[in-house]
Amino acid sequence: MHIPIIYEDDDIIVIDKPAGLIVHPTNRKEKNTLVDFLINKCPEIKAVGDAPERPGIVHRLDENTSGLMVIAKNQETFGRLKEQFQNRKVEKKYLALVIGKLKDKKGIITKAIGRSRKKGIKQTIAPIVPRKEAITEYRVLKEYENYSMIEAAPKTGRMHQIRIHMASIGHPIAGDEKYKFKRQICPKELNRQFLHAYSLRFQMPDGIIKEFHSKLPDDLNKVLKNI
């Protein structure tokens, strides 16, 4: 599999995850995951982390979300990165194409997220217990006839957070099959949710702040040209 490596040293690997790639196996049948790639490239990473099925993994992206991820190559770095994510010191920014035009061109969504009892939907803002605090900042970058390009910056790391939050204010992400509305329009040739993690900023083990960026993938650029 071809996974672009943005940066690598003795402590970390920063990769640009393509859409359609699962980060780690959730059952024994899943193969060709990001973890398989990492173990093949750096066998020593198998001993890093909290769980053998997630070696070196300190954060995740959905299967059909593309973009930047940082992976720890040793246990000390794993602990430091994990602490930064838990304490909200890592800055993550995403590009997303959402349905419609937003009344508020920038804002902060603060809606707790928990698991849904409905079959096929894993997460929801519905009032069930327990729920976890979730915060997403957004701003509109460009408007199209039926869509808006936004930058979303999650301040917490809940599963499907940006997807759920944007749907909760009436502007689901284009191409999102799980949280879409009925009769929702979808751009031609868009075969996944239009969500890309394009910016990642965190502190290295030596204390230096590093910031990485990723360009919008070709498949999403093609969609923008068509609309």
Q: Give CA–CA dist 21/165, Å, rounded.
A: 23
The encoded tokens of residue 7 equal 């940066």
Q: Which residues are catalytic?
A: 62
- Report the DSSP beta bridge partners of residue 70: 14
Query: Residue 27: how many CB atoms within 10 A of its CB?
Result: 6
The strand pair at 195-203 and 66-72 is best described as parallel
Alpha carbon 158 to chain centroid distance? 10
DSSP 101-119: --SSSEEEEE--EEE-SST
Nearest-Å Rg of the Cα atoms of the chain is 18
Please say whether the beta carbons of 54 and 48 come within 8 A. Answer: no
